[in-house]
Structure 1
Amino acid sequence: MKLITAVIRPEDLDTVRRALLAFGAPGVTVTPLLAGSRWNRHLEVYRATVLVADLVPRLRIDVLAHDDDVPDLADLLGRIGTPAAGGDDTGRVWVSAVEQVVRVRTGEHGEPAV
């Protein structure tokens, strides 16, 4: 089992969600966050004070998947969650190994819990 995590723009959520449903992903968790990189920094003026704005709102998508589905799901999230316009470097997709999963409602362990 693997955990696929992607950081996407909020406006891409509906497209990503529909693509994951069409793929048959078992479930998804969405978490709002602020993301930044050295290329996103710009100056803003607020009440006559110059501020460095380097964090932008993004969404974190987590999908728990079987090992066989990981390459296709990671590719899907990478293609759909990638910004069309250049200059945005906050999008990422990564895969992490999952040692154990327990379904709380039924007490199932391992692959059946996915």
Structure 2
Amino acid sequence: MPMKKKNNRKIISLLVVLLSIVGVLTSLIFCKKDKYIMFYTKQSLGLFVMEVAISLITKLDLILFEVVISPLLWILFLILIVMTCLNAISGKEKKTLLIGEYFDKINL
């Protein structure tokens, strides 16, 4: 594969992860045939689901959630996004820690 096309795939995969659900929808419309981009589309979808779940959990009005658990969940989420972005630009298909295995099985 030409180097320019390979670099474009990395950049598109990175944007899919960074743009969250917008990136997922865009890649489903324009890049559905590219296996590498679709791999990171699934990983990004998993991160989006995790983001929604964390948002719902943090809405609980328990002091323990607000003070301890909520910040830890958001830090974990940020770490997973950074790791997934680094994986996307590496050129290799690496599943996102904790959630990647589940969302890789989705048939888009």
Structure ranking higher in strand proportion: 1
More contact order relative to length (CA 8 Å, sep ≥ 6):
1
Q: TM-score, normalising length from structure 1? A: 0.25
Q: Which structure's CA Rg is the greater one? A: 1
Structure ranking higher in helix proportion: 2
